Amino acid sequence: MSVLGSFLLLLLVGFAVVDVGVSLVDVVSVTHLAGTAGSAYPQLTPSEDAVAYYIAGDIWLMKLGSGERAAVVVSPRWESRFSISPYDGVMAFTSERGPAGRTVVCLAEIGRGERGCLPPLAEFTYVCGPQSWLSPDSLLICGMESERGWWGGNEIISSLAGTGVRWHAWIWEVSISGEKIRTIHEGEGLFYSAWGPGGRILYTSDTDKPPIIWLLDTTTGEQKPLIKNGLFPSWSPDGRLIAFVRDGDLWVASPDGRDEQQITTGLGRVVTPSWSPDGGKIFFARFPPLDEDRGSAGLYYVELATRRELPSMMVVSTIILSAILISLLLRFRPTNLKVSER
């Protein structure tokens, strides 16, 4: 085989090595928070000593360690999606307190009570996801309207799915006083989004079949499909990882979507992951199969150890293969070349 042929063969082998799956994190442990069956949407408070969650249309807080519980929002209306501000701990939550039971976004201070609700911005307005705060004074709010004005049940997340009704939808940046600052995205369906570093947003729409996690750059307006067959995206605090759900299990991916790693296997239906402020844990809710003990349902968290970032395998392979090529060329260089002079 020629020197060039040998080099090309080595290059192909090197690229094959690069394509092998990459382990992004080490899973240290998986912990079930006992007594949380039926709970969902867990989010750790900025102080990291308690987890907020919703159950049966109300929002509660549970101290980690002691398990002590306290109500955050309890009302005759149904509350659902919420987001805790990492700046001051203010909670924005979705509630059926709008006209004719439609949803609006309300604010509360954990431990101090409610502030009131923002004016409705569309037929239905709701908190887009756990990572909705852009600053202490503004957050992402989603809105949707239908031509038929249909409304068929209590909770917006469950009652709109699979109805066949087409919804015009928006993602806005809205001030805490309820004023629209800008329209970030416009489309169809029920949105779920996560605000990330550098003005980047991850979002999904229930109109995508199978589901797709999109990456939207709010500074340029450019967007692209990032993760196929993914739901409930969530940025890690440092922006180096994305947690999401695929086929009922928890996964993480690199910010470019190229590398992926499955975290849980066979737990059942995993939903709504969210990161701890220090990036060391991912909290999520689990709904096990119907034939399994319901006591294992509820809130969980997985503790992670991030692997030390290594040089790109592509760069390493290129350096090694280039060195091999140079070595081969020097070893087999011709010695009887005639040099012509003019």
pLDDT greater than 50 at residue 258: yes
Structure tokens at 31: 């912990």
pLDDT at 253: 97
Q: Would you list the domain boundaries of the chain?
A: 22-312
pLDDT at 12: 44
pLDDT at 96: 94
Give the residue from 125, 140, 128, 52 showing the smallest Cα distance to 89: 52
Q: Which residues contact 18 (CB under 8 A, 6 or more apart)?
A: 313, 314, 317
Average model confidence (pLDDT) across the chain: 82
Instruction: Identify the helix (H) or strand (E) that includes residue 224.
Output: strand 223-228
pLDDT greater than 90 at residue 68: yes
Give the residue from 153, 156, 160 showing the smallest Cα distance to 41: 156
pLDDT at 212: 95
Instruction: Identify the helix (H) or strand (E) that includes residue 244.
Output: strand 242-246
Count CA atoms within 13 Å of residue 152 on its CB side: 12
**Residue 329 DSSP SS3:** helix
**Residue 288 DSSP SS3:** coil
pLDDT at 23: 82
Q: How far apart are CA 16 and CA 9, in angstroms?
A: 11
pLDDT at 310: 42
> Is 22-312 a domain of CATH 2.120.10.30?
yes
Place of tokens 């969530």: 234
232 touches 271 (CB < 8 A):
yes
pLDDT greater than 50 at residue 158: no
Q: Which residues contact 261 (CB under 8 A, 6 or more apart)?
A: 21, 22, 23, 24, 25, 251, 252, 253
DSSP letter string over 10-56? HHHHHHHHHTS----EEEEEEEEETT-TT-EEEEE-TTSSEEEEEET
Q: Is the pTM of this model over 0.75?
A: yes
C-alpha to C-alpha distances, 48 to 6, 72, 233, 310, nearest whole angstrom: 56, 16, 21, 30
Can you tell me the mean pLDDT for 10-17?
43
pLDDT greater than 90 at residue 167: no
